[in-house]
Structure formats: C-alpha cells, structure tokens
C-alpha cells in the first residue's frame, strides 16, 4: 500500500482506531469547550452562541475607492472591516516620496495623513464596527490615525473594537516590510500594548502572525512553532518593559493561514490553542483565564491560488475556510478566486463572502461545538502536531542561553528563515516530481486561457494622491506640526511611551512618512544580512 503523509510530513496510516490513542487523556488534552486548555475552543458555545466575524480584507487605490468597497462589503453582509495598506504606507513613506514611485495604491490603500484616514471611513462609525488593520512597521502611526479619526467622529474611543497586526518579528522572518532595528521595533510594539490597555481596552494590540510564514513556504508544524515562539518573545518583551502579564495578555490575538490539507489544518488550530494555554499559564504564570486563550483570525491561503484555471480557486478557498471553521476561528477572511491575477473584483469579493455565509448557514458545521473532537485521526494529528512543534521550540530556546529571547537570536542567525526556505524548496520539488498534485498546474492542465475580469487601478490615482499630500502640507499649521514632531523625537530619545506623542502628531496633520522619518533619525534602519 502506498505510503502517504500530510503537508508537514506527518505519516498518515490507512486506518485509525482506539489503539492509536492509548496514551490519550481526554480531560488533560481536551477538556470542555471554553475551559483550559481550550483544545475544543475558547468559548463554551462557540458558533451556537455567535458566528465567527466575517471579514473581507480590502484596500486599493485611494481612500475614496477603498471606502466604496467597504460600503459594498457591508451591504453584502460582512461583519467586520479589514484594511490592506499600500507598500509605501507599510514602510513609512509618503506618496510623494521617490521611494513610493509606482507603488502608490497598488497592493492596498494609500494613507498619508489624518485626512486620508477620514476619507477611508467616511460614513462608517468607528465605534460601531470591528476593524482589523494589517500594518506592522508603522502600526503605531496607523493606530494613532484611527483613534484620531474616531475622536473627530465624536465616537466613544474606549469602545473601539478591532485589531492592529503590529507583529514586526514575522517581517524580519518572511515578509520584509520592516523599518527599524529589531530592538527599537519591539519597543514600538510594547508601547502600543501599554498605551492601548489604558486608552482603548477592547482593542487587540497585536495579531501574532503565522500567515505570512506559511505563505513563504513553511509547513503547518513550523507555522505553529514559529508563531508561538514569536508570541513568547512579545510577552517577554512586555514583561521586561514593566507590564503585568494579565494587564496585556487578554488582548493578544493570532493570525493563522488556512491551507488545503483539511484535517491537518484542523489539528493545527487545536494544537496551537492547547500549547498557548499551557505556555501562558505554566511558563509565564498568567492567572486570568483570558490570558490563556489563543484567539485567532484565519485567512485562506493566497499562495495556493493559481492563475491557471482560476475558478478552481473557489473550491480551494471553500476547503480552507471549512478548516478554519472546524478549527474554531474567531474571524475569517476568504480570498477572491481571482487573486492570483490581481486584486479581487467586486464579484470575486462577494463570492468569497458568500462562501463564508454558506458555511455558516447551510453546511451545518456551526450547529455543534468542535464537531471533529474525538476523531481518532484528528486527535492523533493534534498530538503529533504539538509534539513536533515543541521540538522546534526547544531548538529555538537553545539560541539564547537564558531561554528568554531565543527567537530573536534564531532570526538574527537565520535559522528560522533557513527552515522556511528548506520547506518551500521541498514542496517545489514535490510539485516538479508530481508527488504533490496541484490541479490545473502540474496535472489536469487545460490549454484554454482564462477570461476572468481583472480589477484595474486608475493610473492617474498616484498623481492625485501626491497632490493631496502636498496640498495638506501647504495649508496645515506648520508650527504645531513641527512641535508635535519634536515631541515624538524627544520621546524616542528619552524612552517615554511614544503613542501619546504620535497621536498628537497625526492630529497636527503630520504625515505617516514624516513621523516614520523622525523615528528613522533616532533609531536608524534595519539592514538584513544575507542568509544562505
């Protein structure tokens, strides 16, 4: 009989029965939903009580164009917004910077100032919607802009609900939109933790992301291990900054990829939840049960979408969304089937949302809590996922003799990057050898070309955005703006929390690029060493 394995290389037997779970302790490893170690979910009723938040990640062109898409998605039944920012915004350059040329509004929305942020959310009450912002190096600035706009709307700021990704470590590992050296970037992360716990207590101050590492080619096991190791690093940094663990840990959140191997993905989510609960209670000594909960957002896997036969991506996204739901996600984004070709059209975005709605209301999977619990195969996979992820985390801890910042040392020495690169190479070889089949790509190929409509970005948009930011600079109160930027610089130098100063700066109409440049002047910029 042919041997087979999951995408992480976990061997799969032809049949699973009770003999595979002879060491299985249901009380210790499962428990009840809503109770430690949360293997079966963080809420006792899960989707019987409340469905997951259906988000659709969107942002393109300028603020007006993105605002139209948000209103369209809300009208179609989405329950939360998820903002994609363009590359200049992500790395702290204004639209009129030479570094932004050709990139303005291309992979997300261009946001330079408080006026752009106001236009982005025009007609949308910020205290009445949950918003997720995928932003990292400039997370502190974009969060400040969001709060400043909420104030202008007259919103009750302490009721703001949402998430700022604010996960800088995965940028050094897999994505590359970093600005500052690691230590200074970690300071910005913990400044957000401390400030938000007082000012916007319902806000999730970080979304610790395995998604981008998985997109770069890591396995499901590596995704769990590297994400939780990042999480431990953030917790330790906050403790070292003088915070109490139960003051910030309940607002930590996670962001995972949902891939094609359905049952391995379900096991991944369950194992991650159990591991994090034990890490927080036993390693960090958290006392609040909310500090033990791994709350996560999932997004279907963009890297699995194909330009060939793009309609096949509808089936892929459905399987991936089902894995996230069966795994107990708190919110979900489903990719448009055309995203291997361009940003999604309205039709593709609507169909992606309808996929979630059909799962929620027609499939029956939301009718009971953790419907796959007790499956011999799923429980075996969950245990094996945990075992293999813990082996990685043990290796990572050895990079630092104190065991506190092993992940930072592992990143600096290129260990994590190499492991991901090796996994990506192994998968590409499997595709080349056809031991891994991708329908429409290396098997079941069609000569017919796709006629899928493509979302286009207006080429004139960049110049309009450049003119807007220059006009803002010409009419703002230059003295107030300069004073606010000096205050940011002083706080950066003297070690004070930067967030109050950044909020003042954005309210003075200082731009994203100007604030980032002040911090560049104090912190310097990170330069990646070559990892082979």
The domain locations on the chain are 4-432
Q: pLDDT (tens digit, 9 = 90+) per residue, 237-256?
A: 999 999 999 999 999 999 99
Please report the pLDDT score of residue 246 as a whole number: 97
* Phi, psi angles (nearest 5°) of residue 164: -115, 130
User: Band of the pLDDT at 27, cuts 50, 70, 90?
Assistant: low
Residue 79, CA atoms < 13 Å, CB-side half-sphere: 11
Please report the pLDDT score of residue 29 as a whole number: 74
**Tokens 């259906």, residue?**
54
| Fold of domain 4-432 | TIM Barrel (3.20.20)
Please report the pLDDT score of residue 50 as a whole number: 96
Q: pLDDT (tens digit, 9 = 90+) per residue, 136-189?
A: 999 999 999 999 999 999 999 999 999 999 999 999 999 999 999 999 999 999
| Percentage of the chain lying above the pLDDT 90 cut | 89
Residue 233's H or E segment, with its range, is: helix 220-240
Question: Taking 90 as the threshold, does the pLDDT of residue 25 lie above it?
Answer: no
Q: What is the mean pLDDT of residues 79-95?
A: 95
Picking from 222, 315, 229, 294, the residue whose alpha carbon sits closest to that of residue 264 is 222
- Cβ atoms 519, 501 nearer than 8 A: no
Please report the pLDDT score of residue 1 as a whole number: 54
| Percentage of the chain lying above the pLDDT 70 cut | 98
Residues 6+ apart with CB under 8 A from 370: 33, 40, 41, 46, 328
């Amino acid at each position: 009989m042919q041997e087979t394995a999951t995408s992480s290389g976990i061997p799969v037997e032809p049949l699973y029965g009770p003999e595979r779970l002879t060491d299985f302790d249901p009380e210790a490893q499962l428990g009840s939903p809503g109770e430690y170690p949360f293997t079966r979910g963080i809420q006792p009723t899960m989707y019987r009580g409340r469905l997951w938040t259906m988000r659709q990640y969107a942002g393109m062109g300028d603020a007006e164009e993105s605002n139209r898409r948000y209103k369209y998605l809300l009208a179609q039944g989405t329950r939360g917004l998820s903002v994609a920012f363009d590359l200049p915004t992500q790395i702290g350059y204004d639209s009129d910077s030479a570094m932004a040329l050709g990139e303005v509004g291309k992979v997300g929305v261009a946001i330079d100032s408080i006026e752009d942020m106001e236009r982005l959310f025009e007609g949308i009450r910020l205290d009445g919607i949950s918003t997720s912002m995928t932003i990292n190096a400039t997370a502190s600035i974009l969060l400040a802009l969001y709060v400043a706009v909420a104030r202008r709307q007259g919103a009750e700021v302490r009721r703001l609900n949402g998430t700022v990704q604010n996960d800088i470590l995965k940028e050094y590992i897999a994505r590359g939109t970093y600005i500052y050296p690691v230590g200074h970037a970690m300071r910005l992360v913990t400044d957000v933790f401390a400030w938000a716990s007082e000012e916007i207590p319902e806000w999730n101050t970080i979304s610790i992301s395995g998604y981008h590492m998985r997109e770069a080619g890591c396995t499901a096991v590596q995704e769990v291990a590297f994400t939780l190791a990042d999480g431990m690093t953030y917790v330790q940094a906050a403790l070292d900054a003088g915070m109490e663990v139960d003051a910030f840990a309940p607002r930590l959140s996670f962001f995972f990829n949902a891939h094609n191997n359905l049952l391995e993905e379900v096991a991944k989510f369950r194992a991650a939840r159990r591991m994090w609960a034990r890490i927080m209670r036993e390693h960090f000594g958290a006392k609040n049960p909310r500090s033990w909960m791994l709350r996560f957002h999932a997004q279907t896997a963009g890297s699995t979408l194909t330009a060939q036969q793009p309609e096949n991506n509808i089936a892929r996204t459905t399987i991936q969304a089902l894995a996230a739901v069966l795994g107990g996600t708190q919110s979900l984004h489903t990719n448009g089937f055309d995203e291997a070709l361009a940003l999604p059209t309205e039709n593709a975005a609507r169909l992606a949302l309808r996929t979630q709605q059909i799962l929620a209301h027609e499939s029956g999977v939301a009718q009971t809590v953790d419907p796959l619990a007790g499956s011999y195969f799923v429980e075996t996979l969950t245990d094996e996922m945990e075992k293999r992820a813990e082996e990685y985390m043990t290796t990572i801890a050895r990079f630092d003799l104190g065991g506190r910042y092993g992940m930072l040392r592992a990143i600096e020495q290129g260990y994590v990057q190499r492991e991901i690169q090796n996994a990506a190479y192994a998968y590409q070889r499997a595709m080349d050898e056809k031991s891994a089949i991708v329908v429409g790509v290396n098997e079941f190929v069609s000569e017919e070309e796709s006629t899928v409509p493509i979302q286009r970005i207006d080429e004139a948009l960049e110049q309009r955005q450049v003119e807007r930011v220059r006009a803002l600079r010409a009419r703002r109160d230059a003295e107030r703006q300069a004073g606010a930027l000096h205050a940011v610089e002083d706080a950066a130098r003297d070690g004070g929390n930067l967030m109050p100063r950044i909020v003042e700066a954005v309210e003075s109409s200082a731009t994203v690029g100007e604030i980032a440049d002040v911090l560049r002047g104090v912190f310097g910029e990170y330069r990646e060493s070559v990892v082979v």
